[in-house]
Amino acid sequence: MGELGGEAEVKNIQDLADLSQSAVMRSALSLEDEGFLEISRESRDEIFITDEGREYLKDSLPERKLLEVLAEEEFLVIDSLSENVDIPEEKIGISIGWLKRKGWAEVDTREGEKILRITEDGLRALDDKEKDELLLEKFEEVESLFSDQVPSDLEAEISTLASRNLIRIRSRPSHGLNLTEKGKKALDFDLEAEEKVSVLSKELIRTGKWREVELRDYNVTASGPSLHPGKEHPQRRMIEELRSILLRMGFKEIGGPVVESEFWNFDALFQAQNHPAREIHDTLSLSKPERAKILDEDLVERVKRAHEQGVAGSEGWGYEFDEDVSRRTVLRSQTTADTVRHLAQNPDPPVKVFCIDKVFRRERIDYQHLAEFPQAEGIVMAPDLNFRHMLGYLKQILIEIGIPKIRFRPGYFPYTEPSAEADGYFPELDEWIELLGAGMFRPELLNPLGIDHPVLAWGIGFSRLAMIRMGIEDMRDLHNNDIDWLRKQPLR
């Protein structure tokens, strides 16, 4: 430390003294305990060049190559660029985008064809490298740099190159060592290294040498080593918790296929074939297999009659039912398809089953929406079952999950009537949050299945509950690969 002016990083000491990092830190901690040294702990961003970045460093950025060809021509036809420029076809669009972004070229039209024409800024750029290129050149001799080693005039280009996947950034812990006044004064004295023993071995005890050595002091306030055992993803743990609750409540678990026919996904649920939920913006349709086999033609006929003419006093939807639409395949958009199929196969009470599985929607992915997410669904069929029984089931499920304060509101779902929604109160948020949707299956659904008894049904969306429990605001974070975040999630 004296040779380095009283200030250094652990890496500097390692290189100078030819010691391992653990040896340097062990000594530094001892000196800190005795007041000779102060250790500053912070993190630094280390920047690594990627394989693609190394390729461009060797062969220049694709927009630079395109600019050099463009400078020799009056213009280039965009549709013919792959014939004139040594750039992979999949990179041509990127190259044009960066040419325009940097102001090196402009897009014009000539004789009905789109062309590229060099600009004044592009001509000047032939002699001068851009800042992103200068930053890339910093990696000619090294694999990585710390962000504070990047010149201030090039700092803005870090995010630019990272967005192009030419560099990647990793946060690394950094330890700075600084001699205290006591440490600086100690340098003026001839100090003899005094060996301290950290482990009282059997040999020291047997020979009696333990009387002659000095035992190293233990810092009982220091943090112990971090342990990172394998554990379930927190959302998976919640799913297993709910599965255990439902099994204890006497439910039986069922499942179903991910690829479903529109018959089971919609028709059997008394959702009209012209219902908005069946439009392409909500449901993911398949091109292969494009059609599914529906084995029970009698059931299809009964469902068709319910849609066209109505049953049990209903007038139905009053349209012409198309059996070809029923055979179209989709990715399952609701686990109700599984529970209703089970009812059709088991029309006699008692029935008390649940399904926990993935469902798929054609959603624009953002902080509130995902295209793939887990859903839990349950049904109970028994003679004399009524709406109050359903509210009792919902209350018991939420209490078992750990949400004792509950309220119910009237709700609407296409295939249940009456329907309700259950909210849970979260004191840490001081908010009521919707958690469950439920209702009694309509006669128009049950009658074609040959069921004469009441059936209650409920569904839970896991994602919202998981976000609250984990304290996150973006639904996408439930599926990120941030190992540090996953390690810090508490075990319940």
Q: Mean per-residue pLDDT for 166-174?
A: 86
Give dist(CA 134, CA 60) in Å, integer: 11
- C-alpha distance from residue 205 to each of 75, 215, 274 (Å): 88, 13, 87
What does the pLDDT read at residue 419? 94
Predicted local confidence at residue 399, as pLDDT: 92
Closest CA to 464 of 356, 394, 368: 368
CB 230 within 8 A of CB 289: no
Query: Alpha-carbon distance 70 to 95, whole Å?
Result: 12
Percentage of residues of the chain with pLDDT beyond 90: 36
Percent of all residues in the chain with a pLDDT value above 70, rounded to a whole number: 97
- Residue 267 CA to residue 484 CA, distance in Å, equals 45
The answer to whether the annotation marks 42 as part of a ligand binding site is no
What 3-state DSSP class applies to 427?
coil
387 is in an annotated binding site: no
Q: How far is CA 403 from CA 142, 421, 422, 426, in A?
A: 55, 15, 11, 8
Mean pLDDT in residue range 6-29: 82
Q: Tell me if the bond preceding 289 is cis, omega within 30° of 0.
A: yes
Beta carbons of 408 and 400 less than 8 angstroms apart:
no
pLDDT in tens, 313-370: 888 888 999 999 999 999 999 999 999 999 999 999 899 999 999 999 888 787 778 8
Over range 389-416, report the average pLDDT: 91
Longest dimension (CA), the chain: 104
Q: Which residue has the higher pLDDT, 197 or 167?
A: 167
Question: Which residue matches tokens 């013919």?
Answer: 80
Q: Token pair for residue 139?
A: 């990696």
Q: Which CATH architecture has domain 61-128?
A: Orthogonal Bundle (1.10)
Domain boundaries, the chain: 1-50+144-221, 61-128, 235-488
pTM: 0.58
Paired tokens of 105: 């070229």
Weakest mean pLDDT among 127-136, 153-162, 388-397, 458-467: 458-467
Q: Is 251 annotated as a binding residue?
A: no
User: Among 172, 178, 176, which Cα is nearest to 43's?
Assistant: 172
43 burial type by CB count under 10 A (0-12 exposed, 13-18 middle, 19+ buried): exposed
* Statement: residue 227 has pLDDT above 90: no
Q: What is the pLDDT of residues 109-123, one digit of tens each?
A: 888 888 888 999 989
- 263 known member of a binding site: no
The chain-wide mean pLDDT, for the chain, equals 87
Q: Which fold has domain 235-488?
A: BirA Bifunctional Protein; domain 2 (3.30.930)
Question: Nearest 5 degrees, angle CA 362-CA 366-CA 368?
Answer: 90
